[in-house]
Structure 1
Amino acid sequence: MEYPLRAEVTHLYPDEVEQARRILQAVNAELEQPLPASEEIALALHLVNAGMASGDLTFTYRMTGVIHQMVAVIEAEYALELEHDTVSVGRFITHLRYLFVRVAQHKQLTSDASPIGAAIRGTYPEATAVAERLAGIIELRLGDELTADEVSYLALHVARIAEGR
């Protein structure tokens, strides 16, 4: 079976894919009929899901799709083709994973705009506009509106990506 999110999972969760590859090799060493290599994607998603402490892969699939969509928006907005293995993209994806957990657990950063958030928005107005678009995607796909500080920290990561840091 081929997994439709293979490319996204491979780029978004390289550590989990590598762990899944090793697990699959160990399992296949014990089986007469080895599992196909494509099963590493399913295993990787289970590892991602386990890291999110959720028993249902639906959230992981949705999160992966949202991340892919958000990266595509940033690429289009800044006319970039992002290298998914860079530090800034990795930080962005890690930030999003924790953001999605906070959203799912209804534990977002404070709803009042903090001075740090205001400083980020003032320093990076273009990235803030992009972050607000990304927040709209999250609201549509996950059903929760982001707080001002969540949008600000999202803007900081967008600015890092746009600046290539």
Structure 2
Amino acid sequence: MSTGLLPYEVSPNLPFILADHIAYAIKRKEQNIVVHMPLSFDVRQQYPVEFKIGEYALRIIRKRLNVRLPAHETVGIAMAFINNMADSDSCELAEEFGTDVYDRVLEESTIAVERRLGIQVDREGFDYARFATHLQYLFNRLNSGESIVSDNRKMYLSLKDEYPVASACADDIASVLSRLTGQELIDEERLYLMMHINRIASKAR
């Protein structure tokens, strides 16, 4: 199924999945249940089109159902699209690289972090889960030829000097990605890697 906005096909089951997600979101709203979306920043930066679709969906729900869902539900709706990419020619991730390659990227990147920082990464921890999710999104983008468009290169250059070890670690991961996918990372991508690396490092101290 094509949305006309996304560079990939989505599963034909997506409408039912979205309806189910929205129904539960409304039920949570009625019962004052708050579900935190810790990946909000990541999704907004790495999947801007899906995030905008989520924002649009919340406006439609408010207009047609007179229900004002919390802003973080935008992420849940965006994730429904991200997690339901159809197995088609437009979804090149599984076909070109494959899950086994992503697994190698994650494992080798984790080892690079441990070696460079001299730490043992808690692979059951929340910050590692965010790091792994970020790498998966990054892997998707590299495979589809997309990249982050931002004005953060100056920030990268500044933080590169302030956190030279994290920067070197991001360069190590960039080398892993280059070797396994044939794609190079722009500075903004390295910036986000540095942020995740610093989170992991701070918890290991």
Determine if the TM-score, normalized by the shorter chain, exceeds 0.5: yes
**1:112–1:148: 8 Å Cα contact kept in structure 2?**
no
Give 1 or 2 for the bigger CA radius of gyration.
2
2:103 pairs with 64, 88, 101, which one?
A: 64
User: Would the alpha carbon gap of residues 137 and 120 (structure 1) be closer, same or farther in structure 2, given more than 3 Å must change?
Assistant: same
1:154 pairs with 193, 196, 202, which one?
A: 193
State the alpha-carbon separation in 2 of the partners of residues 111 and 94 from structure 1.
Answer: 20
Alpha-carbon distance, 1:114 to partner? 2.1
* 1:89 partner letter: Y
State the alpha-carbon separation in 2 of the partners of residues 145 and 128 from structure 1.
Answer: 15
Partner SS for 2:141: helix
2:162 pairs with 118, 123, 144, which one?
A: 123
* 1:75 equivalent in structure 2: 114
1:142 pairs with 160, 181, 194, which one?
A: 181
**2:127–2:196: 8 Å Cα contact kept in structure 1?**
yes
Instruction: State how many pairs are aligned.
Output: 116
State the alpha-carbon separation in 1 of the partners of residues 111 and 170 from structure 2.
Answer: 13
Alpha-carbon distance, 1:108 to partner? 1.2
* 2:160 partner letter: R
State the alpha-carbon separation in 1 of the partners of residues 84 and 116 from structure 2.
Answer: 30
* 1:88 equivalent in structure 2: 127
Alpha-carbon distance, 1:54 to partner? 6.0
- Normalised by the length of structure 2, the TM-score is 0.51
* 2:170 partner letter: A
What is the identity percentage for the equivalent residue pairs of Structure 1 and Structure 2? 26
Alpha-carbon distance, 1:59 to partner? 1.7
Alignment of 1:40-59 (within 5 A): 51=83, 53=85, 55=87, 56=94, 58-59=97-98
State the alpha-carbon separation in 2 of the partners of residues 54 and 158 from structure 1.
Answer: 31
State the alpha-carbon separation in 2 of the partners of residues 120 and 91 from structure 1.
Answer: 20
**2:105–2:177: 8 Å Cα contact kept in structure 1?**
yes
Q: Deviations over 1:49-69 (max 9, x none)?
A: x93736337521100111011
**2:102–2:136: 8 Å Cα contact kept in structure 1?**
yes
- Normalised by the length of structure 1, the TM-score is 0.62
State the alpha-carbon separation in 1 of the partners of residues 194 and 101 from structure 2.
Answer: 22
State the alpha-carbon separation in 1 of the partners of residues 153 and 163 from structure 2.
Answer: 15
**1:120–1:156: 8 Å Cα contact kept in structure 2?**
no
State the alpha-carbon separation in 1 of the partners of residues 152 and 100 from structure 2.
Answer: 31
* 1:81 partner letter: Q
